[in-house]
Amino acid sequence: MDATQKWAYERRIRDLMAVLEENKFNAVYADNADEARKIVMDMIPEGSTIAVGGSVTLNETGILAEIQKPEYKFIDRYHTSSFEEMLDKYREGYYADVMVSSTNAITMTGALVNIDCTGNRTSQIVFGPKKVIIVAGVNKIVDTVEEGMKRAKKIAPMNARRITHKTPCATDDNIQCSECHCQPRVCNVTSIVTGSHYFPGRITVVLVAEELGY
């Protein structure tokens, strides 16, 4: 990335941070993925119970590996023996000290836009865990909620394929949303969080000046 592109990313993020803070989110700038990881880990005390939303960004930054270390009580949704056990892990997440996730999109008006399969990620961002940390690359930033919805729908096929849901959009022949009605549909729940006024500072958004995740 050249210096001019980096400058443009940083300027866009700084403008968004001001809006997020007006909406009572905490907003933090990270220059790159490594810095984002360090910022997030400094925010989580040892011994914390931690839940996560499914996220490529958490893998790419190394955050997911860090929070699975013995110093933390990680709610492991990834190694379960059955679907029901996985759902139980999702439910545990509502009582977590910290929930860490990314977002499908974040608007320049300061809204988090997400489309979810089961709703555990979207609902835990809204309420439940005492603290929520959102990590988002600059590629997640859009101008409006409408653009955020379009972005979430556009990346849904990749997320469906990543989590091996056999939806029409995740096949080799079709990589766009067909508004399916199949059981493994990944677009069941839509969440638009426009502010954190009732719980100021509960949600922290770490904005990274590089592209991360889908």
Specify if 54 maps to a domain. yes
Instruction: Over range 113-117, report the average pLDDT.
Output: 92
Distances (CA, A) of 139 to 26, 110, 151, 155: 20, 15, 10, 12
Query: Residue 111 above 70 pLDDT?
Result: yes
CATH for 28: 3.40.50.10420
Condensed to tens digits (0 to 9), the pLDDT of residues 167-212 reads 777 776 767 777 777 777 777 899 999 999 999 999 999 999 999 9
Determine the 3-state secondary structure of 176 from DSSP: coil
Specify if 214 maps to a domain. no
Specify if 90 maps to a domain. yes
Specify if 86 maps to a domain. yes
Question: Mean of the per-residue pLDDT values for the chain?
Answer: 92
What domain range includes position 26? 3-208
Specify if 203 maps to a domain. yes
Specify if 97 maps to a domain. yes
Is 157 in contact with 177 (CB distance < 8 Å)?
yes
Specify if 93 maps to a domain. yes
- pTM of the entire predicted model: 0.92
Distances (CA, A) of 107 to 113, 124, 204: 8, 20, 15
Measure the CA dihedral 171/176/178/183, to 10°. Answer: 50
Query: Residue 163 above 70 pLDDT?
Result: no
Q: Which two tokens stand for residue 93?
A: 């997440």
Number of domains in the chain: 1
Residue-level pLDDT at 159: 73
